[in-house]
Structure 1
């Protein structure tokens, strides 16, 4: 069968139309393979070949940086909480020891009426109290300033009653009922005081 003018001429006995047809068949087969990829496979291919300026890449980078920042914030918070736990670990034990200190103070307050025979005993109680208080101070315990005449401070004082002293100002501490204590800057127990109100 003669070829028409302008058509491809067989080269080495291979018809060029057949070659083109074969290439088209291969291309359509590749397209069919691409279309049969799952959504996950397509997303993975996209991530491999995406350019840095692409919105998908920028969004993924932002999410990665946000996750890193969140992780860093959690780490810092856990370190801060661990430090705080170490710093105030003894507050419950020291809080439980405060009544012992209160009882020693109470014993010394009533020692004024003791006779000569008890003076050595009172001196022993006073020395015990000082050693005990020094030991607690070594662990960060300090007494709240509550002296008669100082102004009442609700952050460190707890009012348990009213007094009427003419020589003191209104809202001044008139009497200390129970000493208060601070542990490393944090209030462990407020000082219980009587507050002055002039009539």
Structure 2
């Protein structure tokens, strides 16, 4: 009895074919391009928003400065109006003190009261930032703070200098509210020149013609 041998069929094993790397690389490259484009768009958007923010911040800062300046202007305007309304009173008090007689015992109490009122008023103005200005005799006339009320000759004071302070001036901060009223010296008075009298009239000594 013949035993049939089965021939084993040899199957040829073919190596597995790996997928091509080209499509994956292309996909990866495309993804990188998309990400780069997104990053570029994001940077542009960021720069745009940042510029807008900086402009708004600068505008707001300028607005704050303008508002503070306007507020200060309104405040100083109110102070100037208030101060100007009492300058006349202070001038009257100062004039009364200037012409008061300290030797009069009966009026001594009144004079002290006037002086106290004057000093307190000036002090209150100082609390609002208002400073009193004075001019000394012999001080050079300064048109930025002085206002000449009159010009007078003076033997003691040089020409163009303050001969007398008539009324004090006032400032609010760096702003001049009222200049110092002064009398300015015109120098020594020149003596009047007198022409010699002609005793002989014209033709007085002329002899009449015969």
TM-score (norm 1): 0.62
Unaligned runs of 5+ in 1: 1-49
Q: CA RMSD in A?
A: 3.1
CA pair 132-53 structure 1, distance change in 2 beyond 3 A: closer
Asked if the contact 2:152/2:184 (under 8 Å) is kept, the reply is: yes
Asked if the contact 2:76/2:172 (under 8 Å) is kept, the reply is: no
- Aligned-residue offset at 1:180: 1.0
Task: Provide Cα deviations, 1:111-147, integer angstroms capped at 9, x if missing partner.
Answer: 1287432222222212221222222222222211311
CA pair 175-53 structure 1, distance change in 2 beyond 3 A: same
TM-score (norm 2): 0.59
The structure 1 residue matched to 2:136, chosen from 147, 151, 174, is 147
2:187 aligns with 198
Unaligned runs of 5+ in 2: 1-39, 189-210
2:120 aligns with 131
1:187 aligns with 176
- How many residues are aligned here? 151
**More helix, by proportion:** 1
1:109 aligns with 98
Pair member with larger Rg: 2
Does residue 86 of the first structure (1) align with residue 75 of the second (2)? Answer: yes
**Alpha-carbon separation, structure 1, partners of 2:68 and 2:176:** 23
**Alpha-carbon separation, structure 1, partners of 2:149 and 2:41:** 73
